[in-house]
Amino acid sequence: MLPFSIELRPGLPVAEQILFAVKKAVVAGQLRPGDKFPSVRVLSQELKVNPNTAHKVVAALVAEGVLVTTPAIGSVVAEREAGGRAEKAELLGAELERVVVEAKKLGLTLAEVQAGLGAHWKKLGGK
């Protein structure tokens, strides 16, 4: 059994959906620093995805600093880096831009987007 939940949806790249699910699990506390992460083989079998896709996901999570891979141990959830707030905000910029583009495409107002963002923030345990 995987330490995070995901329901793959058609129309979105599978690797992106898995990456998002893992990051969400880390933020929500389902996956904590030091927790063992499934191997590429287990990830591939459990999600019924190509092993190359599973490898791509693990490699991306390592590159983004979400996971740390150690020989003979495998992959574990990384400790959160302190980093500056400005650096973190900059990293989030591309994601926020996507949200704004989609919101404008749907004709939502800034207030509606902020309300939706607030609801998701609270849902994931934000204050």
Scan for tokens 């891979």, then name that residue: 69
Same domain as 19, residue 73? yes
**For the domain that residue 41 is a member of, what is the CATH number?**
1.10.10.10
Judge whether 49 and 14 are in contact, CB under 8 Å. yes
Considering its fold, how many domains does the chain have in total?
Answer: 2
* Residues contacting 5, CB < 8 A, separation 6+: 21, 25, 30
Judge whether 1 lies within some domain: no
Under the banding of pLDDT at 50, 70 and 90, the label for residue 124 is: confident
11-51, pLDDT tens digit by residue? 889 999 999 899 888 887 889 999 999 999 999 999 999 99
**Which two tokens mark 124?**
């994931």
Q: Is 93 helix (H, G, I), strand (E, B) or coil?
A: helix
Judge whether 112 lies within some domain: yes
57-106, pLDDT tens digit by residue? 999 999 988 999 999 889 999 987 655 566 566 657 767 888 888 899 99
Same domain as 109, residue 70? no
Structural domain for 65, as ranges: 14-77
3-state helix, strand, coil in the chain (%, to 5): 55, 10, 35
2 burial level (CB within 10 Å; 0-12, 13-18, 19+) = middle
Give pTM, 2 decimals: 0.71
Same domain as 23, residue 57? yes
